Amino acid sequence: MKRRSFLAASAAVLARPALAQSDARVLRFVPQGVLGNLGPIWASTAIARNHGYMIWDTLYGRTAQGDIMPQMAAGHEVSDDRLKWRFTLREGLYFHDGEPVLAQDCVASIQRWAVRRGFGQKLQAQIRDIRAVNDRQFTIRLLRPYPRMLDALGSDTCFIMPRAGVAHRCLHPDQRPRRQRPIPVRER
């Protein structure tokens, strides 16, 4: 077989759609490690963060150019003195179990995140109070203006979770120290 014939045949085979693919679209994900904790806020590993993105979402996100844009939020209003922020959730947001996403879920999630993560701790130091106004709106009142509010709420671990899930044990680290036991090795 001549080189040109071989290259032409190879290109023809590679250009065709894969024959083994079916119409069903199933994404199979194989992580690079073991997911030791389901709580992406408590675990600092990339696998925990990636797992978090497969289940939850954030209020704001970043474009490919790095600009902050609303994701779960429909938008926000800021007072003239920049001390009061009112956030409105998009309509039609639901968690994986079919329950609607409520402002109370956002408040609980932000408070939980602010305890553990550095960006959240900086924001928490500026917060006077945070509360749900109604099912789709919540407010954050600040002690002094915080220009990185949207950066914080769009950070990669400020996931919005159901209120009940925020308190769930599987999302918190195990408080008891784990004892590592050696695996017995038998020689032949």
Average pLDDT over residues 17-24: 57
* CATH assignment at residue 133: 3.90.76.10
In a domain, 86, yes or no: yes
Residue 1 banded pLDDT, cuts 50, 70, 90: low
Helix (H, G, I), strand (E, B) or coil at 19: coil
Number of other residues whose CB lies within 10 A of the CB of residue 164: 12
Please tell me what DSSP assigns to residue 175: S
Number of other residues whose CB lies within 10 A of the CB of residue 52: 22
- Of 63, 76, 83, 68, nearest in space to 103 by CA: 76
Helix (H, G, I), strand (E, B) or coil at 73: strand
Report how many domains make up the chain.
1
pLDDT digits (tens, 9 = 90+) for 23-57: 667 777 677 777 777 777 777 778 888 878 888 88
For residue 103, the enclosing domain spans: 22-171
The pTM (predicted TM-score) of the whole model is 0.72
CA distances from 154 to 31, 58, 104, 138, 145 (A): 24, 6, 18, 16, 18
In a domain, 12, yes or no: no
